[in-house]
Amino acid sequence: MITSKDKEFSDSKNDKCLEWLDTQEPNSVLYVSFGTTISMADHDQQLKELALGLELSGVKFIWVCRDADHDKKDGVEGGNKRSQLLDGHCGWNSCLESISNGVPIATWPMHSDQPLNAVLVTEALRIGLNVKDWARRDEVVSSSEISKAVRRLMASDEGDEMRKRAKELGKAVRSATNDGGVSRVECDSFIDYVNRS
């Protein structure tokens, strides 16, 4: 268990996490994170259900916790881009990172833009599924529901299709930022415009 409160928190501990990930089969590790602005510390029952649901799913996972959450529970710090799936709050930056890396998302929106981002991911792009829908934001999601959602994403034909779409979308996003790609061309054009002004 690696926490950011460890006095000896260092790259070597992060390296251990990466080394472990390198020994895992592709698409076999779930990355769990609720971002940097959400604290789960005041949601003891939901944390218990989440932990039990992850365990019941039988899926390997890395759970990243904020510093504020470490006072109430142990957690893993040191997420990385090698994990194959994301269970998250659906913040815009997390969505962009997942999409760019071709990684499907198990959504759990908490506030602000996250409910709309979850709709984009699950309904428009179809590269994810809801673990906790915004309409149920005040309810505790049971461990069995969490376990079922994780298995659905990680070990089903439906999950395979989401993963395939996510990889295709990620490839398109990456090509748009390469030389000659639409994002690169537009960004270069904007920089040229600013420099002329």
Whole-number percent of the chain with pLDDT over 70: 78
More confident residue, 89 or 165: 165
pLDDT tens for residues 71-112? Answer: 434 333 333 344 454 556 677 888 888 899 899 999 988 888
What was the pLDDT predicted at 110? 84
**Sequence-separated (6 or more) residues with CB below 8 Å from residue 105:** 85, 86, 87, 88, 90, 94, 95, 98, 121, 127, 128
What was the pLDDT predicted at 190? 95
pLDDT tens for residues 182-191? Answer: 999 999 999 9
Q: How far from 103 is each of 5, 89, 96, 114, 163, CA to CA, in Å? A: 29, 15, 10, 17, 6
More confident residue, 36 or 104: 104
pLDDT tens for residues 122-141? Answer: 999 999 999 988 888 889 99
Q: What average pLDDT does the structure give for the chain?
A: 82
What was the pLDDT predicted at 92? 84
pLDDT tens for residues 51-72? Answer: 999 999 999 998 887 654 444 3
Q: Look at residue 137 and give its three-state secondary structure.
A: coil
What was the pLDDT predicted at 66? 64
pTM score, whole prediction:
0.74
Query: Can you name the CATH fold of 11-196?
Result: Rossmann fold (3.40.50)
